[in-house]
Structure 1
Amino acid sequence: MTDEMSSVGQLDAEALGARLRVLRKGAGLTLRELADALDISASAVSQIERGVRRPSVSRLLAIVQVLGRPLADVFDPTGEPEAGAAPSDPSGYVLARSGASKPVTLGTGVVFRRLSPATTTGVDFFESTYPAGGGATDLDTLITHEGYEVGTVTAGELTIDFPDERVVLRAGDSITFPCALPHRMGNTGTDDAVATWLIVHS
């Protein structure tokens, strides 16, 4: 998918990079410090922030983990948490209309879309779409990150590799596992695989 195609109703690579740069600066990290924490080159981080390169799912999760920010912050229009996103009155509510959250297309063609109407402390709620052949990483490696994952496949077929087993989920199937368990998600089918996810942080 080209940036021109994705720019309609989606975040383009430049906007995604700009948001990540704002989050990095807000965390008080230099480009070099973030690169060292991710064990990648400063050039690679710079390319992501300038929109030259899109991060994979695994790289994006690693970035927000190092920055100490929820995944939901990536979807905010300014790259910063929404002011007043959480209602001060616990009986109140936050409403987001359709289209308020722009999907993010990542380096391996995977699309993330935030489903929560605002940043919710301790929880990331989003939808992922894995195109045929798409994966969470461009490397043949298992990943870990913080939290506990709960997911339901709503369309297509999603494959999750664990250290000793491969699990294939089809529409209607659900799964839950600690994110510290090494895993890799991908789509070995011929149609898009769509799933909704909760990542619960301790």
Structure 2
Amino acid sequence: MDTTPLPARIGTRLRGLRTASGRSLASVAQELGISSSALSQIETGVMKPSVQRLVELVGVLGAPVSAIFDDVGVATPRADPPGDDVEEPLPGVLVAHGDRSEPAHLGEGVTYRRLSPAPLRGVTLFESTYPPGSASSPAGEMLVHAGYDCGHVVSGELTFEFADGPVRLGPGGSLSFAASRPHRVVNASDAVAVAVWLTVEPGAADDGGGEAVPGVIGALPG
């Protein structure tokens, strides 16, 4: 049994998630609005963060809250940079010919593929494919992240679970909701379902915003 104090274990996990994401201590601290020293103390277990601070931290790193309490690997989709096949025929206009984006495979069987030719500031356009029986998060957990989600079912049937009830949509159906509302997407059918998502993050219209990558900020009990 690991006798390491809980704050130290949490700090180690946070540091591992940060380094795996390629983020520096200073950049994460700046995004959180705290000093690099304070973040370093959290990572070393000297400072015990509040629950709210933990949610903010894993949100910045694009990981589920559960990732800091267990040893389960984390797979978070990350926007890939423009490749050689992305052209700029006009200043500020990026064009990709054909399907160049490799899908990212998520833990519950869902695959994610960015549809824009390059990462967009504060806005993410992506396609999710849900095999039969797959879901956006494990049973009993719901996703929470920043921004606003708009989803459109291209094929198949999907059930969008919320705390106060489910919404079932077939081909051509669409919905939108604040992504801070606990939600889960499930394919309970025996056919593959595909949906296109547009996620707009807070401050997307601000010039100072950063790249938007769809990621899980929290996993709450369903």
TM over 0.5: yes
How many Å separate the matches in 2 of 1:178 and 1:157? 22
How many Å separate the matches in 2 of 1:146 and 1:28? 16
Higher relative strand content: 2
Give per-residue Cα distances to partners, 1:124-173, cap 9 Å, x unaligned.
Answer: 00000111111111241222110100111001011101111100111000
- Spell out structure 1 runs of 4+ moving beyond 6 A: 29-32
1:21 match: 20
User: Does the C-alpha gap of structure 1 residues 54 and 22 become closer, same or farther in structure 2, counting only changes over 3 Å?
Assistant: closer
2:7 match: none
1:93 match: 93
8 A Cα contact 1:155 1:193, kept in partner: yes
Q: How does 1:1-202 map to 2 (within 5 A)?
A: 21-25=20-24, 27=27, 33=43, 37-38=57-58, 39=65, 40-41=67-68, 44=71, 53=73, 55=75, 60=76, 74-76=78-80, 92-202=92-202
Residue-pair matches, total: 153
Structure 2 runs not aligned, ≥5 long: 1-18, 30-38, 44-53, 59-64, 203-222
Secondary structure of 2:23's aligned partner: helix
User: Does the C-alpha gap of structure 1 residues 22 and 41 become closer, same or farther in structure 2, counting only changes over 3 Å?
Assistant: closer
Q: Which amino acid aligns with 2:165?
A: E
Does 1 or 2 have the higher relative contact order (CA < 8 Å, sep 6+)?
A: 2
Give per-residue Cα distances to partners, 1:2-44, cap 9 Å, x unaligned.
Answer: xxxxxxxxxxxxxxxxxx82433484589984xx644433873
Structure 1 runs not aligned, ≥5 long: 1-19, 48-52, 61-70
Secondary structure of 2:175's aligned partner: strand
User: Does the C-alpha gap of structure 1 residues 171 and 42 become closer, same or farther in structure 2, counting only changes over 3 Å?
Assistant: same
8 A Cα contact 1:152 1:172, kept in partner: yes
Relative to the length of structure 1, the TM-score reads 0.64
How many Å separate the matches in 1 of 2:107 and 2:118? 25
Larger C-alpha radius of gyration, 1 or 2?
2
8 A Cα contact 1:75 1:104, kept in partner: no
Deviation at 1:193, TM superposition (A): 1.0
User: Does the C-alpha gap of structure 1 residues 43 and 167 become closer, same or farther in structure 2, counting only changes over 3 Å?
Assistant: closer
8 A Cα contact 1:75 1:103, kept in partner: no
What value does the CA root-mean-square deviation take over the aligned residues?
A: 3.3
Q: Which amino acid aligns with 2:142?
A: L
